[in-house]
Amino acid sequence: MKKIFLNQFIIFLSKTSIMVGGQAVINGVMMRVPGFYATAVRNAESHIIIDRHPHQSLVDNYNLTKIPILRGFLHLIDSMKIGFQTLEWSASIAEDNTPSNKIINFLMTLFSIAFAVSLFMGIPYLLTEFTLSLNNFSNNQFLFNSFAGFLRIMIFLLYLYCISKLEDIACLFQYHGAEHKVVYNFEAGSSVSVQNAQQFSTKHPRCGTSFVFILMLVTILTYAIADSLIASAGLLNFTVFSRILFHLLLLPFVAGLGYEVLKFLASKQNNPFFAILSKPGLWLQNITTKEPTDDQVEVSIEALNAAFDNNLDKFKGQKFNADAIG
């Protein structure tokens, strides 16, 4: 149960959604391909256990692939659902098939959400309100959200650095690196093997880490504009609590917009200007990905092969390109 709690906060950070993509889980990797996803976990006896399921995304179910922003939010919801399911399953395998308690998991999820809101909204807003009120700037919505956004990013970086020192998280970040290497290997069209995958980078431009960083930048501008419009219209007298509630309501739009920005930047990697804009997200992966061992890469390959129903070799020689995170 402790492992689930430690990893719930970074479930977004280990996702690379594409035609092929996935995320790191406890002692393993989940890989997702069109129509299916599979999770491979190495248990206490060093055996690799596989769990495979059919899946059709909400976007595909309702033919929403061409509706910007909405498709991004639905991709995120879809990824969170699969992420929590695979994370819970991997924890049970890593802990010798110990059955999970759904009530405890639900309460821990609620606590995790409350903790995240307090850490990344409550604390920055309280500090910003106090700081700007000293100089009578608290009513300047652009200044408020810019300063709060800066504090949020600093807290996020400090949080990532601290949890990366935990043994369980360090291992998770290694599997995150293994997932990226195997995805790169697959995209390149070369034979997917431990030796070939290890030649690729652990940093992927469509990683969820990049998404979270871009999301934080998008929130600064979006919240500033929205708050200014609401305040100027006299619709809401902002307090820390009312601002948090209002910004939570805007999160679906912000998440969808962040998805579109990341998708656009990922498609422009050959453009020097847009490549520079992607650098902060890639740099952040120095924290959230680590060089994996050969055994960890093997688990990632097994997850990908299982997702393709053990037909991975059929795709050899074909190059694929990621479409989005998720």
Residue 210, pLDDT score: 78
CA torsion, ordered 83, 85, 86, 91, to nearest 10 deg: 120
pLDDT tens across the length of the chain (326 residues): 444 444 444 444 444 434 678 899 999 999 988 889 999 999 989 999 999 999 877 766 666 667 888 888 888 888 888 988 898 899 888 776 666 667 777 788 889 889 999 999 999 999 999 999 887 777 899 999 999 999 999 999 999 999 999 999 999 999 999 999 999 898 888 899 999 999 999 998 778 787 788 889 999 999 999 999 999 998 888 999 999 999 999 999 998 898 888 777 767 767 787 677 778 888 899 999 999 999 999 999 999 999 999 988 877 666 665 443 33
Beta bridge partners of 41: 28, 49
pLDDT at 8: 44
**Which pLDDT score, from 0 to 100, does residue 311 have?**
86
With contact defined as beta carbons under 8 Å apart, do 227 and 243 qualify?
yes
pLDDT at site 262: 76
The residue type at 95: E
Distance in angstroms (rounded) separating the CA atoms of residues 182 and 21: 9
Tokens of 233: 């219209």
pTM for the model:
0.84
Place of tokens 């009578």: 136
Q: Residue 63: phi, psi to the nearest 5?
A: 50, 55
Residue boundaries of the structural domains of the chain: 2-315
Tell me, what's the pLDDT at 98?
60
Distance between CA atoms of residues 326 and 316, nearest Å: 24
Can you read off the two tokens belonging to residue 173?
Answer: 């970040």
